[in-house]
A = this chain, B = another copy of it.
Amino acid sequence: MARTTGSDGEKTEAAVREAAVNLIARFGYEAMSMRQLAAEVGVQVAALYRYFPTKEELLFTLMREHMEGLATAWEAARPTDADPAQLLSAYVRNHIAFHIERRHATHVSNMELRSLSPERLTQILRMRTAYEKELRAILRDGAEAGAFSIDDTGLTAMALIQMMTGVIVWFRPGERLSIAEVTATYLSMTMRLVGATSAGEERDVHEHAQLRA
C-alpha cells in the first residue's frame, strides 16, 4: 500500500505533534524512537519525515511553539494601567493556568533542552529569558514603588518561577484540589513572598484562600 484513503497532511502533522509531546513527556526525547512515534500515530516511519526533516527539528518545533504560546498568552493576559500587585497577580494566574493546561509540553520544554543543538538551545533560552524578564520588571517596579519588599529581584524572580512551574510536577487534574484553589493558594504565597503591602485584589485572594485552611 501507499497513500491511504482519507489521509490528510494537516491532520497527520497535528497528530504527530500531539503524539510526540505525549511520548516525549512520558519517556523522554532520547527514549522515544521514531518507530514508536509512528506506531502511536498509526503511520509508517517514513511518513514522519514528510513533516519533520529530523527528530531534533521535531523537538525544536514543539518547544518553539510552546514558548511562543506562552508569550502570546501573557500578552493577552497582561493588564494595562495596573498597579504592581495586580500585574504580579495577572502574571501568576497566567503562568499557572498556562502550565497546568499544557503540562506535557511544559515538561518537554523544561527537560529536553540538552537535546537541542547549541543554536537552537540559544533560541529557546532567549525566548524563555524574555518571558522571565517580564516578571523581573514587575518585581523591580513594585519594589521601587514601595508595593513589594524584595531582597534580590533576580533571585526572587527565579524562585517564583521555579515554585510556580513546579505545579506540573505534582498537580493532577481532578484530584484533591481544583485549578482555582491551587491558583488562589499560589497567589497568596506569592504575595507574601514578595512582601506585598498594597490592598489590591491580593487581599481578596488571600482571604479566599484562607477559607479552605
Q: Which residues in A have some Cβ–Cβ distance to B below 8 Å?
A: 26-28, 30-31, 111, 114-115, 150-152, 155-156, 158-163, 165-166, 169-170, 177, 182, 185-186, 188-189, 192-193, 195, 209-210, 212-213
| A193 proximity list for chain B (CB < 8 A) | 189, 192-193
Q: Is the CB of A185 within 8 A of B111?
A: no
Residue of B nearest to A169 (CB): B162
| A151 proximity list for chain B (CB < 8 A) | 185, 188-189, 209-210, 212-213
A-B contact pairs, 8 of them (CB 8 A): A28-B30, A111-B111, A151-B210, A152-B177, A160-B163, A161-B166, A162-B162, A192-B192
**Cα distance, A170 to B152, chains bound together (Å):** 14
The answer to whether residues A159 and B189 also contact, given A31-B30, A209-B151, A210-B151 and a CB cut-off of 8 A, is yes
**Cα distance, A31 to B182, chains bound together (Å):** 36
